[in-house]
Amino acid sequence: MKKRKVFNQISKDIKTIKIQGARNIAKKALYAYSLIPTEDSIKKLISLRPTEPMLVNVLRKTKTESLDKIFLHFDSAQEEINKFVYNLIDNGDIIYTHCHSTNVSNALIYTKNKGKHFEVYNTETRPLFQGRKTARELKEAEIKVTMFVDSAMDLALAGKGNNKKVNKILIGADALLKKGIINKVGSGMLGKLAKINKIPLYVVADSWKYSSKEVKIEERDFHEVWKSLPKDSQIKIRNPAFEFLKKKYILEIITEFGTLSYRKFLRIVKKEI
């Protein structure tokens, strides 16, 4: 296939969330850039998903670092994260996660493959159902998974009904900011419910998701929520893709720098990025 055609296909897949999650978006965008390495490519790729500092950081780094070196970072950071998550998880844990995060899934699969036994509860994540991807991936790795509808979040966390009580929450992040993080919509509510239910919440993320600037929350097309909404219905639909979670709800953040309080993480990341 011609380079331009591949570039355009990757752009389309990022825009339509066929390629999803901060890490996958940044990695694929870097590959697209390697095919057509111009300033215009950078502008176009950055415009595809507005809530993705990793995408911006990776493309910005092409100005000072080799593509090979940047590509290597994705796996080297993940390997470090895996080890820290392994140390965090105990046999018998009920871990809760939301949406689909490669940083989280890879670390859980690593932990399982290293011999720890735990269960995962997750949420389906409407309207695009990224929770199904998480459930499938974890199940393939022989991790026991129970998936809940989004509105059952509290019920699932608190061990109501036939459920066990969750004892650790692990979520990914799109943006790591001074005052907290941005992750899939529902993460704000999850933080508050974690506090009420006294469950520790950990963010698992590559440090390259850090941004010192403000990050816009992406609002997606209403058709994702209601495909055949009648034209004259006059119903307004809001479809924010992400949500801010204040740092006070995060017990610790796990990055390639270690398992740290959010404050300590910020001190390190400001020097590194």
Looking up tokens 């390495």 gives 37
Among 41, 82, 101, 111, binds ligand RUB (CB under 6 A): 101
Determine the interface stretch with ligand RUB among 15-23, 79-87, 155-163, 188-196 (rule: CB under 6 A). Answer: 15-23
Nearer to ligand RUB, 169 or 241 (CB): 241
- 97 binds ligand RUB, rule: CB under 6 A: no
Are 144 and 117 a contacting pair, CB within 8 Å? no
User: In terms of Cα–Cα distance, which of 190, 209, 199 is closest to 266?
Assistant: 209
Q: Which of residues 233-252 bind ligand RUB (CB under 6 A)?
A: 241
Q: How many CB atoms lie within 10 A of CB 179?
A: 11
- 21 binds ligand RUB, rule: CB under 6 A: yes
- 82 binds ligand RUB, rule: CB under 6 A: no
Looking up tokens 């509290």 gives 154
Tell the smallest beta-carbon distance from residue 16 to ligand RUB (Å).
11
Helix/strand/coil for 154: helix
Calpha distance 110→162 (Å, rounded): 28
Calpha distance 88→126 (Å, rounded): 29
Looking up tokens 């929450």 gives 169
Nearer to ligand RUB, 24 or 255 (CB): 24
Nearer to ligand RUB, 159 or 244 (CB): 244
Determine the interface stretch with ligand RUB among 16-24, 86-94, 193-201, 245-253 (rule: CB under 6 A). Answer: 16-24
Give all strands (DSSP E) within the chain, no chain letters.
94-98, 119-123, 144-148, 168-171, 175-177, 180-184, 201-204, 242-246, 252-255, 258-260
Cis peptide before 230 (omega within 30 of 0): no
- 22 binds ligand RUB, rule: CB under 6 A: yes
Q: Which positions from 120 to 139 touch ligand RUB by CB under 6 A, shown as an x/- string?
A: ----------x---------
Q: How many CB atoms lie within 10 A of CB 4?
A: 10
Nearer to ligand RUB, 15 or 195 (CB): 15
Determine the interface stretch with ligand RUB among 14-22, 58-66, 76-84, 140-148 (rule: CB under 6 A). Answer: 14-22
Among 102, 123, 211, 259, binds ligand RUB (CB under 6 A): 102
Q: Give the footprint of ligand RUB on this chain (CB under 6 A).
A: 17, 20-24, 99-104, 130, 172-174, 183-184, 241
